[in-house]
Amino acid sequence: MTSFWKKPRLSNKLTLTGKIWIAADLHLGPDNPDTLRDFLQFLHSAQHQAQVLILGGDIFNAWIGDDQISRPAPWLAQVSEALRTFAQQHPLYLMRGNRDFLLGDTYARHVHATLLPDQVILDTSAGLILMSHGDEYCLDDLDYQRFRYWVRKPWLQKLYLACPLSLRQRIADSARAGSQRGKQYKSKEIMDVQPAAIVAACEAHAVHAMVHGHTHRPAVHDIPGFEPVRRWVLPDWESDSSEGERRGGYISIEGARLCLHQWGKDDQCQTL
């Protein structure tokens, strides 16, 4: 199905060769050492089994500025070192999410990675795929879209980044707490992507496959009425839960096939 949409508009195209691994929503930070351990193991496997790695946003639980790297906390030093080791052998791409939208070129350069724009077309052996973190399509979550609108303002970011790191951390902690409180009162539907927004984005870019994270609802989703369009949704990672549940996984692209791999579940593989 190469001509489902009429007019291709390919911007931000990234041509990739070899086996690609994509993960998102790692939410790494000082409070989840087991997730960090699993991620470091994943990076080690990726180094041997993949040729390209893309981290699709919310790599960090709350990114308060690239200047953290001048005196990194031990957990961050470990992550950066592991990313750099991977990037010395293979291309590494980082995308921003809603918790690490302040990730910048300085950090990307620090780990020898390339920072991606919020939407990118992956030109892969399996075909063209639109990739994004996913939050921008949650258009029914008005409360979140308002938050997003403001925190993406360059003047507000500049103001925030001019504050001392300790104050930035306190603001980030309170934003995280506010987010967690607020989510208790929102329905799953409101926090999901809006199908019409996905269809419009795929149409604008003339693709019929999308990979995103953010919703923490990993699956290969069809969009009723727009069957050629499919959303491949990445899982979030969590290995520190007190209930002992361990979540995580990634999407691989090899040859003509995409596979969704989730810890403890069967792989789901399809061609586009």
Rounded to a whole number of angstroms, the minimum distance from the CB of residue 134 to ligand LP5 is 8
Q: How many CB atoms within 10 Å of residue 233?
A: 22
Rounded to a whole number of angstroms, the minimum distance from the CB of residue 117 to Mn ion is 16
User: Would you tell me which residues interact with ligand LP5 (CB under 6 A)?
Assistant: 62, 64, 98-99, 135, 138, 141, 143-144, 147, 151, 156-157, 160, 171-172, 174-176, 178-180, 182-183, 186, 191
Alpha-carbon distance of 136 to 37, in angstroms, equals 30
Q: How many CB atoms within 10 Å of residue 205?
A: 22
Rounded to a whole number of angstroms, the minimum distance from the CB of residue 100 to ligand LP5 is 7
Rounded to a whole number of angstroms, the minimum distance from the CB of residue 196 to ligand LP5 is 17
Check: CB of residue 129 under 8 Å from CB of residue 231: no
- Length of the chain equals 272
Q: Nearest residue by C-beta to ligand LP5?
A: 178
Cβ neighbors of 206 (< 8 A, separation 6 or more) are 5, 6, 7, 8, 9, 10, 128
Cβ neighbors of 44 (< 8 A, separation 6 or more) are 82
Rounded to a whole number of angstroms, the minimum distance from the CB of residue 57 to Mn ion is 6
Alpha-carbon distance of 117 to 27, in angstroms, equals 19
Closest to ligand LP5 by CB, 124 vs 239, is: 239
Alpha-carbon distance of 23 to 233, in angstroms, equals 10
| Site of tokens 């919310």 | 58
Among Mn ion, ligand LP5, none, the one that 257 touches (CB under a kind-dependent 5 to 8 A) is: none
Cβ neighbors of 187 (< 8 A, separation 6 or more) are none
* Separation in Å, CA 271 to CA 20, 70, 93, 253: 14, 44, 23, 10
Q: Which of residues 67-96 bind Mn ion (CB under 5 A)?
A: none
Rounded to a whole number of angstroms, the minimum distance from the CB of residue 59 to ligand LP5 is 12
Among ligand LP5, Mn ion, none, the one that 171 touches (CB under a kind-dependent 5 to 8 A) is: ligand LP5
Closest to ligand LP5 by CB, 10 vs 219, is: 219
By CB under 5 A, is residue 58 in contact with Mn ion?
A: yes
Among Mn ion, ligand LP5, none, the one that 172 touches (CB under a kind-dependent 5 to 8 A) is: ligand LP5
* Binding residue for Mn ion, selected from 98, 215, 239, 252, defined by CB under 5 A: 98
Among ligand LP5, Mn ion, none, the one that 160 touches (CB under a kind-dependent 5 to 8 A) is: ligand LP5
By CB under 5 A, is residue 97 in contact with Mn ion?
A: yes
Closest to Mn ion by CB, 214 vs 221, is: 214
- By C-alpha distance, which of 78, 97, 88, 49 is closest to 237? 97
Question: Which residues form the interface with Mn ion (CB under 5 A)?
Answer: 58, 97-98, 214
